[in-house]
Amino acid sequence: MTRRALLLALLVVLAGCANVSPTGEYQDPDDWQWPDDPPTDRLGWEAGYWYNESIDVDQSDGLSEAEREAFVARTMARIEVIRDLEFTETVPVEVISRAEYREEFDFGASDDEEFVAWNDQVWEALLIVGENSRTDDELGELYGSSVLGFYSSSRDEIVIVSDSPTPAIDRGTLAHELVHALQDQQFGLGGSFETQDAQLARNGIVEGDARYVERLYLSRCGDEWDCVPTPQSGGGGGDGDSDDSGDTESGTDDSSGSDGDGQQSPSQPNLGLYLTIYQPYSDGPNFVHTLYQQGGWDAVNAVYDEMPASTEQTIHPAKYPDERPVEVTIPDRSAADWSRFDRDPVGDTVGEASLYATFWYQRYTDRDDLRQNTGAFSDLNYNTSVTAGWAGDLVVPYRSDAGEYGYVFRTEWDSPADAREFHDAYTTTLTLMLGGEEVRPGVYRVPDDRPFGDAFRVTRDGTTVTVVNAPEVGQLDSVHRAE
C-alpha cells in the first residue's frame, strides 16, 4: 500500500480494578439500583460491566471468548471514567501471532517505487537512512519485530500481536489502543498529513492522549483497582503512528544498536528511525498533561480541532498554539538533466524532532542527554540547543535523467546564532562522524564506501541554512545552481 513512510512506535503499561463504592453519578433510584445494569449506557459501564466490577480472567492458558469480552468491556468502562468520554460502540479486539502479523500486515512497505525513491532522499538529508538501504525496508524491520498492537479506524478494530504460544493481552496495550478507538469515535482519526513533521505533531496529541490516560489507568492498579495479571510473554504493549486511514500501530524495543556512522548492526532496527517515530510517545504525554493542567479534559479535547502545527510545539508546549512554522520555499535552479519528482507537494518538512534524531543518531550530541531532565510525563529529552531554534524547513528531492538522486534541504532558524549552530553541527557531522572532507570552502565530499557517500554544499545566509546534495562535486550546480 502507498502511504507516508513515517510510522510511530511505542511501549505499554497496565490496567486494572478493585471493588470500590460507586459514585453518585451512577445512581438513579427511579430506574435501577447499583450494581444492577443501568437502563441506558453511561460513563463507567460498558456491555454489562462496571468499571470497578470484579471479573474472572485467567490468561495463563490464553483467553476464552467470554474472558476476552469481559476484559475488554471492563477496560472500556475504566477508560470512560478516567477520560470523561463515552464510547459509542463496542470495539472488537483480535489477538494474532507475530507470524500472522508479518504475513498479513506490512506497515513499512509501499508499492509506489517513485514515492520510495523520493522518501529515501528525505531520510538521506536527515543522515538517518543511507544509500545502502531503503527506508521502507528499515521500517519493515522496525515494525516487524516490535509492533505489539494497533487500532485500525478503517476496520474499527484493535489487533493485538502476541508472542506467547497461548495468545494473551497485555492490559496496558489494551487500555492504550482502546483510547485510540475512543478518540476515533469522538473526534475521528482519519485524514492525511502532507509532511513528516505535521504527522508527528498530530501524533503528539493522539499518542500523547493515549499514553497519558494509560499512565493514569496504570497508577490505579493495585491499591484502587484489581488488575488482570499480564503474562510475561503475552500481547503487545504500546502504540504507534497512524497512516492516512487512521490505523495506529504500537510497539517498543529499546535494544537496537548502531555502529555510529549510520551503519546498522546486522538485523538491528535503525535507531535514528526509531527515535524519530517515538517522539510523539515521549513528548506527547507531557504536552497533554500541560493542556490538562491549564483547562482539564476540555482543553485536551479542543486540540483535536486545532492540531499542533509542528513537533516544535509538542517538544515545547508553551509554543502551542501561537508559534507556527515559517513557510520555507526553494526555487528550482536545476540543470536540464535534473528535475524534481512529479509529486504534490514536491518536498517534505522534517521538523525539530527529526533533526534532533539526526544529531543524536550520528553521535554529534551526547547520547546520555536523551534521558536527562525528561520530567514526570516524558520518557526522553528531545530538547537540545542545536535544534531548539528551529523555525521551519523544506527538503526537495531531485533525480537525473541518468537515474541518480540528490536533494536541496533548506532550514530556517529563529536567529542567526541558531542558524550558525545548526550549520556548524551539520558540517561537523559530515566531516567527523561521516568521514567526509571539505574539498573547498563550503563543499564537502563523503567517500562512496560510506552509507552517505555523496557531495554536499552547505551555506548559511542570516537565519537560513541550505544543503545541496549530489553524487559528485561537479553535479552540485546541476541539482541547484549556486547564487
pLDDT (tens digit per residue) in 420-434: 999 999 999 999 999
Q: Are residues 241 and 336 in the same domain?
A: no
Query: Helices 65-83 and 171-186, interaxial angle, to 10°?
Result: 60
Q: So what's the pLDDT on residue 22? A: 34
Which residue, 252, 275, 303, sits at the end of a domain? 303
Cα 150 to Cα 291: distance, rounded to the nearest angstrom: 25
pLDDT at 34: 67
Residue 150: strand pairing partners: 159, 249
Same domain flag for 275 and 395 = no
Question: pLDDT, tens digit, for every residue of 314-357?
Answer: 999 999 999 999 999 999 999 999 999 999 999 999 999 999 99
Residues 415 and 321 reside in one and the same domain: yes
Specify the length of the chain in residues.
483
Q: Do the beta carbons of residue 162 and residue 97 sit within 8 Å?
A: yes
Dihedral, CA of residue 338, residue 357, residue 6 and residue 452, to nearest 10: 30
Q: Are residues 335 and 196 in the same domain?
A: no
- Does 21 score more than 90 pLDDT? no
Confidence of residue 267 (pLDDT cuts 50, 70, 90): low
Q: Is the pLDDT of residue 30 over 60?
A: no
pLDDT at 4 over 50: no
Check if the beta carbon of residue 153 is closer than 8 Å to that of residue 190.
yes
Determine the straight-line distance between the first and last CA of the chain, rounded to whole angstroms: 40
d(CA 281, CA 179): 14
| Closest to 178 in 3D by CA, of 217, 135, 227, 142 | 217
Residue 408: the pLDDT is 98
Each residue of 210-233: pLDDT tens digit? 999 999 999 998 889 998 987 665
Mean pLDDT within 236-243: 37
* pLDDT over threshold 80, residue 435: yes
Instruction: Report whether pLDDT(33) > 50.
Output: yes
How many Cα neighbours within 13 Å face the side chain of 244? Answer: 9
The pLDDT assigned to 197 comes to 98
User: 464: pLDDT confidence band, cut at 50, 70 and 90?
Assistant: very high
If you average pLDDT over each of 34-43, 108-117, 289-298, which comes out highest? 289-298
pLDDT of amino acid 153: 85
Mean pLDDT in residue range 398-404: 98
Q: Are residues 317 and 296 in the same domain?
A: no
Here the cell at position 144 is 516487524
Question: What does the alpha-carbon distance between residue 310 and residue 198 come to, in Å, rounded to a whole number?
Answer: 6
Residues 316 and 418 in one domain: yes
| pLDDT band of 17, cuts 50, 70, 90 | very low
- Residue 150 is part of which domain span? 24-303
Q: Report residue 268's pLDDT band, with 50, 70 and 90 as the boundaries.
A: confident
203/253 same-domain check = yes
* pLDDT at position 106: 67
Q: Are residues 109 and 84 in the same domain?
A: yes
Q: Is residue 17 part of a domain?
A: no
Cα 357 from chain centre: 12
| Number of CB atoms found within 10 A of residue 293's CB | 10
Tell whether 188 and 334 lie within a shared domain: no
Tell me what pLDDT residue 356 has: 98
If you search the block for the grid coordinates 502551542, which residue do you land on?
320
Q: Give 161-214 pLDDT, tens digit per residue.
A: 887 777 788 899 999 999 999 999 999 987 778 899 999 999 999 999 999 999
Closest CA to 179 of 12, 307, 49: 12
**Are 103 and 213 contained in the same domain?**
yes
pLDDT at 238: 37
CATH code where residue 368 lies: 3.40.1000
**Phi, psi (degrees; rounded to nearest 5) at 390:** -60, 135
Residue 239 has pLDDT above 50, yes or no: no
Mean pLDDT in residue range 283-306: 97
- 69 or 6: whose pLDDT is higher? 69
pTM over 0.75? The answer is yes
pLDDT value of position 24 = 36
Q: Any idea which of 111-115, 299-303, 390-394 has the lowest mean pLDDT?
A: 111-115
C-alpha cell at 273: 528511525
Is 251's pLDDT higher than 80? no
Beta carbons within 8 Å of 70's beta carbon, 6+ residues apart? 49, 55, 56, 57
Q: Would the pLDDT of 12 be above 70?
A: no
Distance, in Å, from the CA atom of 426 to the CA atom of 404, rounded to the nearest integer, reads: 23
Residue 437 has pLDDT above 90, yes or no: yes
The pLDDT assigned to 258 comes to 39
E strand or H helix at 338: strand 338-340
* Residue finishing a domain among 233, 268, 303: 303
How many distinct structural domains can be found in the chain? 2
pLDDT given at position 41: 87
Say whether both 199 and 343 belong to one domain.
no
| Domain contains 285 | yes
CB-based contact 234:24 (threshold 8 Å): no
- Determine the pLDDT at residue 233: 53
Boundary residue ending a domain (277, 303, 329): 303
Strand partners, 285: none
- pLDDT averaged over every residue in the chain: 85
Better-predicted residue by pLDDT, 240 or 303: 303
DSSP one-letter code for 39: S
User: Do 45 and 176 sit in the same domain of this protein?
Assistant: yes
Look up residue 240 and give its three cell numbers. 504507534
pLDDT digits (tens, 9 = 90+) for 81-138: 999 999 999 999 998 888 888 888 766 667 789 999 999 999 999 999 999 999 999 9
pLDDT at 108: 62
Say if residues 396 and 343 touch (Cβ distance below 8 Å): no
